[in-house]
Amino acid sequence: MNTPRIPNPLPSPDSPKGEARPVLRAKTIATRVTLEELVEVETAAESAGKTVAEWLRELALKAARERPADPAEFLLAEVAALRYMLLNLFHATAQANAEGKYLLPDSVVRIRDQANARKLADARKLLAEFLSQEGPDGDKQ
């Protein structure tokens, strides 16, 4: 999955030269916890010298951005990237040939970069789909 990137904010008219405005966060992620869990979270955030919101945001983003924990997930990510690249390269080459043109090196690099950007999300999606499939007896495989 491609993570949307927010461009760097523009300098504020009333801020010192070159200083960017803080990023405004407009979305909320909510969850329910027990009183005991809340105490644990508040204690951990306080120990880190952060507010609960800062601590949870950093922890969530770190987990979301981490590399695959399972070597099989890593290998599947590479296979997914190769599949994406091959299909797109075959298509782009065929399209260029049909128009009497050649596939340009920049196009190949762009396809490679797209494959790299999406490979882990694609692998996780494939794994989730595979693990959610039902077997012939109606059991999950």
* pLDDT band, very low/low/confident/very high, at 96 (cuts 50, 70, 90): very high
Contacts of 32 (CB under 8 A, 6+ apart): none
More confident residue, 15 or 73: 73
* pLDDT band, very low/low/confident/very high, at 69 (cuts 50, 70, 90): low
Is 65 in contact with 58 (CB distance < 8 Å)?
A: no
More confident residue, 77 or 137: 77
**Residue 4, SS3 per DSSP:** coil
Whether 8 has a pLDDT exceeding 70, the answer reads: no
Whether 81 has a pLDDT exceeding 80, the answer reads: yes
Q: What is the pLDDT of residues 18-54, one digit of tens each?
A: 566 677 888 998 999 999 999 999 999 999 999 999 9
The angle formed by the CA atoms of residues 65, 80 and 101, to the nearest 5 degrees, is: 115
